[in-house]
Structure 1
């Protein structure tokens, strides 16, 4: 079975959709500063966003590894347990950063704004999900799962600014 990263790299439509509105770019994976996990587990940057944030795989293994996101402002959070879960979030709620309370109302408002700018979003998203072999949750379910991951297992994934030994602040507060 081909990796999801390979499928994305080989499909311009998926890569473009994940780039915008998903703000997820596989062509960049270096973080803006030296960091490590407090646990000492492996940390591998594999994608970035347009504002200097980085997506990291945590620990050893493949695409099933937990995914931590660190922004360029010193905040971080575990977003997903595995790349498939992260892609589901980015495909159904690319506006997740604009939903601090993770409510259905916030998501509906953001969705309306995105659909106004990109009326073919749902069609493109569904094609991308099919090509990736993903079944998509609702946006509310994806946001709920994001909060659950960040608050639960996310507590064990503390990102540290290596030169000073200081922990990043939580990106998602519960």
Structure 2
């Protein structure tokens, strides 16, 4: 049986674990954006920054940020949950993508993973969600995220009609001292292993 929002929300403990990864399955009451060609967007949840997750008629999952950025982030609801579990900081991967560079996204993912504050809590949430949903680990969640956002053709508009911009942001981890240092440490430890 494919993973759907209905199957997921029937499992309260899994929903709680996903909440610890900043995904809430309680959609906003008031629509604050529209999607060209989609009459009634089905918002399935939100995150702590006010962004919305929408299940499109194509079964893709779209993310609309409260800052006016939007795009498809996963090819299916199951791929969306896999992404959130593998990389709860997926939005930061896009923030530090250097305008949509896959290698920069991979560097960002490695640096962000190494800077997790409550790594034990995150890892426990990952194990619980995967176990309870019998969810396999994705082969390449960063690559899948890149592919989804790069191919996104959904046009999301604010209530005033202005279009949202892409989820790819122009920053690189080199713009952030904490992430730059984390990447340098990761590179150093990789060299020592060789």
TM-score bucket (shorter structure) = 0.7 to 0.9
Identify which of 90, 101, 116 aligns with 1:96.
Answer: 90
RMSD of aligned C-alpha atoms? 2.4
Residue matched to 1:112: 114
**Structure 2 residue matching 1:78: 3-state secondary structure:** strand
Residue pair 2:5, 2:44 contacting (<8 A) in 1 also: no
More strand by share: 1
Residue matched to 1:52: 50
More helix by share: 2
Identify which of 151, 161, 167 aligns with 2:163.
Answer: 167
Deviations 1:13-67 (A, max 9, x none): 322221122x11012344662x22223454211101111110011126xxxx111
Unaligned stretches of 5+ residues in structure 1: none
Q: Alignment length, in residue pairs? A: 162
Residue pair 1:29, 1:55 contacting (<8 A) in 2 also: no
Residue pair 1:41, 1:58 contacting (<8 A) in 2 also: no
Q: Provide the rounded CA distance (Å) in 2 between the counterparts of 1:145 and 1:97.
A: 14
Unaligned stretches of 5+ residues in structure 2: 98-103, 171-194
Residue matched to 1:28: 27
State TM-score, norm by structure 2: 0.72
Structure 1 residues 30 and 85: alpha-carbon distance in aligned structure 2, compared to 1, 3 A threshold: farther
**Structure 1 residue matching 2:23: 3-state secondary structure:** coil
Q: Provide the rounded CA distance (Å) in 2 between the counterparts of 1:69 and 1:144.
A: 17
Structure label with greater radius of gyration: 2
Structure 1 residues 109 and 4: alpha-carbon distance in aligned structure 2, compared to 1, 3 A threshold: same
State TM-score, norm by structure 1: 0.80
Q: Provide the rounded CA distance (Å) in 1 between the counterparts of 2:20 and 2:56.
A: 25
The ranges of structure 1 where at least 4 consecutive aligned residues each deviate by more than 3 angstroms after the TM superposition are: 1-4, 10-13, 29-32
